[in-house]
Structure 1
Amino acid sequence: MFEAVVMLCLEGAAGQCRAALRPGYAAETLTACEEALTANPPVPFAGQAGMAECRERPAPALTFVKIAPHTFVHRGRIAEPDADNLGDVSNIAFVIGDDGVAVIDAGGSRAVGEAAYLAIREQTELPIKALILTHMHPDHVLGASVFQEAGAEIIGRERLSRALAERSESYLQGFGERIGGAGFLGTVMTLPDREVSTTETLDLGGRILTLTPHTTAHTTTDLSVHDPVSGVLFAGDLVFDDHAPALDGSLRGWTRVLADLGQGSVTRVVPGHGGPVLPWPDGALPLMRYLETIAADTRKALDDGLPLSSATAVIGRSEAMNWQLFDLFNARNATVAYTELEWE
């Protein structure tokens, strides 16, 4: 197979270039790919050096494991985004039906999205019908433009477009500075084509996924995906494993959503970080314990009259040995919990 690629180069930095994939032109022959490019040339990227050209499809840089028939998951690194991982710090999954593919989350840069696309193409040439974004955080959404170019409908929870638009500049700046160089080139913020406000289904042909929007929990934009055929729930960051939880919504809301999550035929869960697949409901027990600890410690700090500046140093500290990246996230979690619970 052949794919279209373009060379992207960092302005004013000699040698800082990368070959970026341009989905939508895949063909079995070089001639067919070139004819497609001629008929419908892609809009140039910022930093693009030269015209798009066709090359043999490269091997994917991401590894996906098969967790059920036609169901694959990539475990992102437990790390902050940087030049080494290019923003590959969250889990990505895809499910193949008879008629097409659904992708769940897209990684933290265009480069990661391209690698995920190539991994899908190792398994099937069926159309990518949908990219489902489980919430608004940049490590899950910044690879979305790749799948939009591949023809996927981008789906998110109601209010996701607004949340991404409001945070676009800071997300792109923050991840751009951490990843830096050529690795972040081509990355843009891509908004959903459609938002989900009530539970609905997505038919892939012989495989019907259930999309469920949740009340404010991990964030204000959480959306889970259930595959009844395999019993797998794709929870996004409603479930964390190994990676320290990040509270960006409501502590009480997250606890309630977690208690109700995955009722029925769910037997396994794919978390947003870690795993990549856990038994259900036992896989959520460490997260529930952490949230309960945060709540109890926060209430005690409030009862003891501790100011926020002192409370963040003690809230959740007993959990420090149980989570990677704990010190990067716990103080912020404590701040969110304190601010929420002081008005109980």
Structure 2
Amino acid sequence: MALVSMRRSFLRAGLCLCCLPALGLVSEEVDVQEIAPGIFMRRGPDLEATAANHNGIANIGFVIGRDAVLVVESGGSLADGRWLRSQIRKRTDKPIKHVVITHMHPDHCFGAAAFDADRPNVVGHHRLRAALEARGEFYRERLIDLLGETEVGRIVLPTQEIGNDGAEIDLGDRVVRFTAHGAAHTDCDLSMMDTATGLLFAADLLFVGRVPSLDGSLLGWLKEVQRLRAMSATKAVPGHGPTIVEFAPAMSDLERYLASLRDDTRQAIAEGRPIEEAIQTVAPSERGRWNLFDDYHGRNVIQAYKELEWE
């Protein structure tokens, strides 16, 4: 299936285009970088999909503790996950005991099967299983159309579900703390903090440079922004963008976009403008601030309009 057809299939199904991969460098041309002691990440690029990049959109990586390795996102395909596993094995022979899937979008979950031989604990939000059962097969079929069946991998469900009280995993002299968020980017967003460094892994609750993609709740996302701020992190790993950023200014940029989306959509509704017109008039000042704005912003307006018109 051509890329444009795949994009239209996602739109017809009412799904966010963030579920599509972004075109990037093929795995052999990229590498992971050590962004903090024992923490390695690869940046996902802000472009569209081809079969050549194996659905390599998201920032993915791993944390090495004294006793074990924790995978931070699994990659967007079986090939992407296998590449990530090879990067781990270049740096350590410690067992890969945990694989974290921060939410159900394909760029974050379809590499998990690459770690089957490790028999890891698969960590996810307590609503991740339901989201994958509802959408996973659709996502998988669309990715097969684009990448081929041998490249996609099976749907892997969580074995450890993080509830509202959170949880911790000890990698040996290194504790990772998990937070299950309310509906925001999706309805199953998980963040984590490495307590050894204070580094916050915000996943797709934080986009940097690439326009945010709304697939959960706009008002909920703005609420979760404040929850993330309360964690008092100074550095963060976003789901998309540079692999490590100053948390406060990066989150301020995201919050500004979300607030503009909220305020302008509310105004459009109050003035009786139809949704088609709102797409053209909501948050125009944000256009030059984000990569892929014209690809994703209209979908965000539709999602916001449907949420806010019933306030």
When normalised by structure 2's length, the TM-score is 0.88
Q: State how far apart, in whole Å, the 2-side matches of 1:248 and 1:77 are.
A: 20
Stretch deviating more after TM superposition (74-83 or 129-138): 74-83
Deviations 1:289-324, CA, capped at 9 Å, x for gaps: 110110111011011110112212222222111111
Which residue pairs with 1:26 in the alignment? none
Confirm or deny that 1:269 pairs with 2:233. no
Q: State how far apart, in whole Å, the 1-side matches of 2:121 and 2:79 are.
A: 20
Q: State how far apart, in whole Å, the 1-side matches of 2:36 and 2:30 are.
A: 18
Which residue pairs with 1:232 in the alignment? 199
Contact 1:76–1:273 (CA under 8 A) maintained in structure 2: yes
Confirm or deny that 1:76 pairs with 2:44. yes
Q: 1:104 to 1:262 in 2, by over 3 A?
A: farther
Amino acid at match of 2:160: R
Which residue pairs with 2:214 in the alignment? 247
Q: State how far apart, in whole Å, the 2-side matches of 1:263 and 1:331 are.
A: 31
Deviation of residue 264 (structure 1)?
Answer: 4.0
Deviation of residue 286 (structure 1)?
Answer: 1.2
Q: State how far apart, in whole Å, the 1-side matches of 2:236 and 2:91 are.
A: 22
Deviation of residue 149 (structure 1)?
Answer: 2.6
Amino acid at match of 1:127: P
Q: State how far apart, in whole Å, the 2-side matches of 1:264 and 1:340 are.
A: 28
Listed as ranges, the matches of 1:1-344 within 5 Å are 62-178=30-146, 180-181=147-148, 184-185=150-151, 187-197=153-163, 198-344=165-311
Amino acid at match of 2:151: L
Q: CA RMSD in A?
A: 1.6
Amino acid at match of 1:85: N
Stretch deviating more after TM superposition (195-204 or 73-82): 73-82
Aligned-partner SS, 1:108: coil
Contact 2:186–2:215 (CA under 8 A) maintained in structure 1: yes
Contact 1:91–1:276 (CA under 8 A) maintained in structure 2: yes
Q: State how far apart, in whole Å, the 1-side matches of 2:180 and 2:148 are.
A: 36
Contact 1:60–1:119 (CA under 8 A) maintained in structure 2: no
Deviation of residue 213 (structure 1)?
Answer: 0.3
In the comparison of the two structures, how many residue pairs are matched?
Answer: 284
Amino acid at match of 2:211: A
Q: 1:264 to 1:187 in 2, by over 3 A?
A: closer
Deviations 1:117-158, CA, capped at 9 Å, x for gaps: 011111110001101111111100000111233221111000
Contact 1:316–1:330 (CA under 8 A) maintained in structure 2: no
Amino acid at match of 1:305: G
Stretch deviating more after TM superposition (292-301 or 312-321): 312-321
Q: State how far apart, in whole Å, the 1-side matches of 2:152 and 2:239 are.
A: 24
Q: State how far apart, in whole Å, the 2-side matches of 1:111 and 1:62 are.
A: 14
Contact 1:102–1:132 (CA under 8 A) maintained in structure 2: yes
Aligned-partner SS, 1:312: helix
Stretch deviating more after TM superposition (230-239 or 318-327): 318-327
Percent identity, aligned pairs only?
40
Aligned-partner SS, 1:191: coil
Q: 1:105 to 1:164 in 2, by over 3 A?
A: same
Q: State how far apart, in whole Å, the 1-side matches of 2:186 and 2:109 are.
A: 14
Aligned-partner SS, 1:313: helix
Amino acid at match of 1:315: V
Q: State how far apart, in whole Å, the 2-side matches of 1:60 and 1:329 are.
A: 29
Q: State how far apart, in whole Å, the 2-side matches of 1:228 and 1:141 are.
A: 24
Contact 2:59–2:238 (CA under 8 A) maintained in structure 1: yes
Deviation of residue 265 (structure 1)?
Answer: 4.8
5+ residue gaps in structure 1? 1-58
Q: State how far apart, in whole Å, the 1-side matches of 2:274 and 2:190 are.
A: 34
Amino acid at match of 1:185: E
Aligned-partner SS, 2:104: coil
5+ residue gaps in structure 2? 1-26
Contact 1:244–1:324 (CA under 8 A) maintained in structure 2: yes
